[in-house]
Structure 1
Amino acid sequence: MTQATGHGAELAGLPPVDGKSNKRVLILGAGIAGLTAAYELGKLGFDCVVLEPRDIPGGRSMTIRKGDKITETTGHSQTCKFDEGQYYNPGPSRFPQWHVTMDYCRELGVEIQPFVNLNENAFYYGEGDIGPMAGKRHRIREVKTDLRGYTAELLAKVADDELLDTELSESDKEALIDFLHYEGGLSGSANEYKGHNRRGYKVWPGGGLQEGELDDPYQFSELLQSGFGNLFHRANEYQYQSQMFTPKGGMDKIPMALAEKVKDKIVYGAQVKEIRRTNPGARVVYTVDGADQEITGDYCICTIPPTILRRLQTDFSPMLKNTLNIVPFQNSGKIGMQFKRRFWEEDDRIFGGLSWTNLPIGEVWYPSSGFLDKKGVMGGYYVFGPMSDQLGRMSPEERTEFALSNGEKIHPQYRDEFENAFSVNWATIPHIEGCLAHFPQAMLKTFYPLLIKPEGELYLAASWASHLGGWQAGAFEAARIAVKNIHERTMAS
């Protein structure tokens, strides 16, 4: 498979091992990492067995549709009541164009579509001590245009200062001021920001004599107090820059396509109890339909989340066990909310994208498909850490009320248009019990290398054991590294 330079281990051109040996690889978990490992190893001639505790593949790469049911570790149970054709991705929902995920979609024939990550017509909304802009929603384009304009005005005025003479020539300063006029929408020789049509119109241009009427810009002071400028990065970070994509019809299209390629290798309903190293090789004890079974292999690739792996009987080294105990594997929660009318499109002219807020719901997501349809499913919250832990202790009904009571501050139509919801709290999803890991810099230099180092014939491969925590690309790339390592060892033996 062809992929961009630097993205994971390169597998293209590796020779099959069929004529040399027929090594068996035990793969624990049929999420993206486990399925990828089985798929790539199979192409190289390895015999693989994938043990998956659930009855479906994909791990967190899940899509919720009508009739889907989840019973959480807390005992709370939900059955999805979305209309046919409506769906929601409670785990990964998007990927940037530079991720290796794109290459697998191409190879597997998974149809993709643009994911609208940034929509300047969506809203910022804040409450609390944020000045005059509190308690009101504000179009993203208005806030961005005004704040950039005022900032450009300041810089343009500073550019006349003699202190810049040591850094910039006279022609450089002229070019800088010219750039700031275009970038900030400044006017006149005084380098002032007085508003710009990039922020939109109070009355939009139209036919006849309707040339358009600009609204007054926000005051610089109130923009600074609002803190909305601190949200600009949410669509500027390298992971979220345009263009982003998503599989057409749901994120589970990717694991389903992978699972189809290795369907004769997967044992569903297989819950791992023990992982032992046999020096060489590995032995795994698992339960199917209440009966213990045992299987051995030449290698083992473990993708089981650390929250569960910590509880299993293993003979991992004390160093690896200690490292697993401190993996910063955090929780996350999402809710999909079906509305009987796409009011965000009809009333607010928002087609895809996200609205950001300092309310505890964090973000509101608008669907990137089904435009102009009658109904739709919005993302009512996307939260991490303590807030998601708090939601995990709530019932599904309480989570829905949490989403409604906060979201209606941004969209007053919520209550009247709401039909049903389905929430997922990853810390309480059986066999997963967590979402993603982001390692602090200190851990990246100390414990992280120990986590990804193989122990004999045992490899850990998952997005939580990568630099792409939470992204499918992290799982793809971790699996590819394990595959290449196993192939090299086999060919050298």
Structure 2
Amino acid sequence: MDTPERDSLPRKRSLRKKFGARNYDENLMDELIEKHLGGAFKKKKQTKEDLEKETETEAMIAISLGFPIDALLEEEIRAGVVRQLGGKEQNDYIVVRNHILARWRSNVEVWLSKGQIKETVSNEYEHLISAAYDFLLYNGYINFGVLLPLTSPMPELTNEGSVIIVGAGLAGLSAAKQLMSFGFKVIVLEGRNRPGGRVYTQKMGKKGQFAAVDLGGSVITGIHANPLGVLARQLSIPLHKVRDNCPLYKPDGAPVDKGIDSNIELIHNKLLDKVMELRKIMGGFANDISLGSVLERLRQLYGVARSTEERQLLDWHLANLEYANAGCLSDLSATFWDQDDPYEMGGDHCFLAGGNWRLIKALCEGVPIFYGKTVNTIRYGQDGIAVIVGEQVFEADMVLCTVPLGVLKKRTIRFEPELPGRKLAAIERMGFGLLNKVAMVFPHVFWGEDLDTFGCLSEHSNKRGEFFLFYGNHTVSGGAALIALVAGEAAQMFENSDPSMLLHRVLSVLRGRTCDDFPFILFPNLLKAL
């Protein structure tokens, strides 16, 4: 759910990035790409140098979308987009593929047709145009989102098939929108009385001082290749880059020395590097060795972070790592904890003005959704699908089940016949993480208008993830909204805690505290805000 520039070795993103404070407009993409995209696809006579420059720019766009510069995706290889791997045909295919990606990304508000591509690519590459276009279209890399017609402008995509989608979260709604654009008849069954799933924007505050606060997913973590960024562009919703300035405070409210902070951050990154080096030398760790145990052993071996302040600082970075992985380091595999790094989305982290509910609302338009329909049974076979909700039976040609992993683990939906053994084994093996947050709205922004984030150190390692990071959502929520994040072991303890006690604890962190009974005020204006 929810960077410093990457080093030579991959690692989880930190939320303490470096960039200026301004609203994000993905139409710009970046200065270089926008410069070349301005008129790149208008009919005009181009020199050889112009074409080479355009090809390089399109390759950069493709890289930002997760495509390799000189190779095919595994999915492309399986789809057989070229007759022979390697050689001139593959190189030509990559150029055509990149051109199609760049064409659509230059204007995501309209459907890009195969005919439009043929206008800008030589006829001798017609077979590659078809291969690349069909792959990108059917795998959702182009022509997706909320501004597409419900009936595809391409006659060849007309389809009389019917699909039932179980779950009206982001996955279910996006799939419904895309399938409808392909011509399928679609209905969505949702157990709750609202759409969105784990995306939920709540209006908080007093009359006249409401703020739109995301109680579920709240940050677009990496704008490049992120379909949420595309949706925001299509809806003309401003995105706010999460600014880098993230001061840290000690448990007593005093600011952390920036020099010590930089040194401990460097130690934290080097410890992760050592984990990777050891893993490579040893050919991997045993399955039951956790990332947390390896990091602690390395910390002791190298004798780092010995003082109280240094250990608290290192704990903060470990809490941030637990937040990035939505789990305790003691539960993360030392061998596989970073296996999804190649699939992470690059670019800036952003807040969406008005909350992520705006995306959900747009995705719902024109989609037939039935609420309060908790699915009991899914029967499937060659004769079609039957989805049973109590005494009701919904029938279709296909079913797409987008419920969370936890629902599948609980077996609350019965499949007839039972799911294949490999799928049951995967459901059993896979895990999911836990994050918690406390959302608050104040009369004014006492923490500073220029701060999107700040962090607080904990006295105790087992509570390092409790309110370790705060998001100031005042730039996008319409009010002085502040969100306290809880990760790791602290997030698990939160599940059974009294909400009133949690609010008391988070306010005590915001006030700061000293050894005596007189509080050190971390933010001088906090008491006025309360």
TM range (shorter): 0.5 to 0.7
* Alignment of structure 1 residues 234-273 onto 2, 5 Å: 234=320, 243-260=348-365, 262-263=366-367, 265-273=368-376
Superposition deviation, residue 60 in structure 1: 1.0
User: Who is 2:419 aligned against?
Assistant: 317
User: Who is 2:230 aligned against?
Assistant: 104
Superposition deviation, residue 334 in structure 1: 0.9
| Greater fraction of residues in strand | 1
Superposition deviation, residue 100 in structure 1: 2.0
User: Who is 2:445 aligned against?
Assistant: 342
SS in 2 for 1:104: helix
Preserved CA contact (<8 Å) 1:331 1:389: yes
1:409–1:381 distance in 2 versus 1, CA, 3 Å? farther
SS in 1 for 2:490: helix
1:140–1:231 distance in 2 versus 1, CA, 3 Å? farther
User: Who is 2:484 aligned against?
Assistant: 380
Q: Is residue 2:310 matched to residue 1:225?
A: yes
Superposition deviation, residue 23 in structure 1: 0.5
Superposition deviation, residue 119 in structure 1: 1.5
Q: Is residue 2:90 matched to residue 1:90?
A: no
Superposition deviation, residue 368 in structure 1: 4.1
Superposition deviation, residue 297 in structure 1: 1.5
User: Who is 1:363 aligned against?
Assistant: 468
Superposition deviation, residue 97 in structure 1: 1.6
1:242–1:387 distance in 2 versus 1, CA, 3 Å? same
The alignment of Structure 1 onto Structure 2 pairs a total of residues equal to: 318
Q: Deviation string for 1:366-417 (max 9, x for gaps)?
A: 32434999x6111123324x43232222232232223223343276459735
* Distance in 2 (alpha carbons) for counterparts of 1:136 and 1:393: 28
* Distance in 2 (alpha carbons) for counterparts of 1:142 and 1:407: 23
Q: Deviation string for 1:101-156 (max 9, x for gaps)?
A: 34432453150322425324x21435xxxxxxxx45334745445668999xxxxx
SS in 1 for 2:163: strand
Q: Is residue 2:245 matched to residue 1:119?
A: yes
1:240–1:416 distance in 2 versus 1, CA, 3 Å? farther
Greater mean alpha carbon deviation, residues 49-58 or residues 310-319? 310-319
* Distance in 2 (alpha carbons) for counterparts of 1:372 and 1:394: 27
Amino acid at match of 1:389: Q
1:99–1:418 distance in 2 versus 1, CA, 3 Å? farther
* Distance in 2 (alpha carbons) for counterparts of 1:390 and 1:90: 19
* Distance in 1 (alpha carbons) for counterparts of 2:500 and 2:227: 35
Greater mean alpha carbon deviation, residues 11-20 or residues 395-404? 11-20
User: Who is 1:352 aligned against?
Assistant: 452
Amino acid at match of 2:457: T
* Alignment of structure 1 residues 43-82 onto 2, 5 Å: 43-66=181-204
* Alignment of structure 1 residues 68-467 onto 2, 5 Å: 84-95=209-220, 96-106=222-232, 108-116=234-242, 118-120=244-246, 122-125=247-250, 135-139=252-256, 141-144=258-261, 225-226=310-311, 228=313, 234=320, 243-260=348-365, 262-263=366-367, 265-287=368-390, 292-309=391-408, 310-315=411-416, 316-317=418-419, 319=421, 320-345=423-448, 351-358=451-458, 359-370=464-475, 376-384=480-488, 386-409=489-512, 412-413=522-523, 416-417=527-528
Preserved CA contact (<8 Å) 2:165 2:187: yes
* Distance in 2 (alpha carbons) for counterparts of 1:272 and 1:307: 15
Identity %: 19
* Distance in 1 (alpha carbons) for counterparts of 2:141 and 2:347: 28
* Distance in 1 (alpha carbons) for counterparts of 2:352 and 2:231: 8
SS in 2 for 1:343: coil
Superposition deviation, residue 22 in structure 1: 0.6
* Distance in 2 (alpha carbons) for counterparts of 1:273 and 1:117: 45
Preserved CA contact (<8 Å) 2:351 2:476: no
1:334–1:115 distance in 2 versus 1, CA, 3 Å? farther
SS in 1 for 2:179: helix
SS in 2 for 1:91: coil
SS in 1 for 2:212: coil
* Distance in 2 (alpha carbons) for counterparts of 1:244 and 1:228: 23
1:10–1:303 distance in 2 versus 1, CA, 3 Å? closer
Q: Deviation string for 1:204-232 (max 9, x for gaps)?
A: xxxxxxxxxxxxxxxx9859834536756
Preserved CA contact (<8 Å) 1:334 1:382: yes
Amino acid at match of 2:195: P
Amino acid at match of 1:339: F
Preserved CA contact (<8 Å) 1:108 1:258: no
* Distance in 2 (alpha carbons) for counterparts of 1:150 and 1:37: 43
Amino acid at match of 1:382: V
Q: Deviation string for 1:421-453 (max 9, x for gaps)?
A: xxxxxxxxxxxxxxxxxxxxxxxxxxxxxxxxx
* Alignment of structure 1 residues 18-57 onto 2, 5 Å: 21-57=159-195
* Distance in 1 (alpha carbons) for counterparts of 2:172 and 2:504: 37
Unaligned runs of 5+ in 1: 67-79, 127-134, 152-219, 420-493
Superposition deviation, residue 25 in structure 1: 0.8
Superposition deviation, residue 240 in structure 1: 9.0
SS in 2 for 1:225: helix
Q: Is residue 2:12 matched to residue 1:12?
A: no
Unaligned runs of 5+ in 2: 1-60, 68-72, 74-135, 145-151, 269-304, 325-340, 459-463, 514-520
SS in 2 for 1:41: helix
* Distance in 1 (alpha carbons) for counterparts of 2:383 and 2:236: 38
Preserved CA contact (<8 Å) 2:163 2:185: yes
SS in 2 for 1:294: strand
* Distance in 1 (alpha carbons) for counterparts of 2:266 and 2:216: 37
Amino acid at match of 1:317: L
Preserved CA contact (<8 Å) 2:471 2:482: yes
* Distance in 2 (alpha carbons) for counterparts of 1:307 and 1:325: 10
1:19–1:108 distance in 2 versus 1, CA, 3 Å? closer
**Higher RCO structure (Cα 8 Å, ≥6 apart):** 1
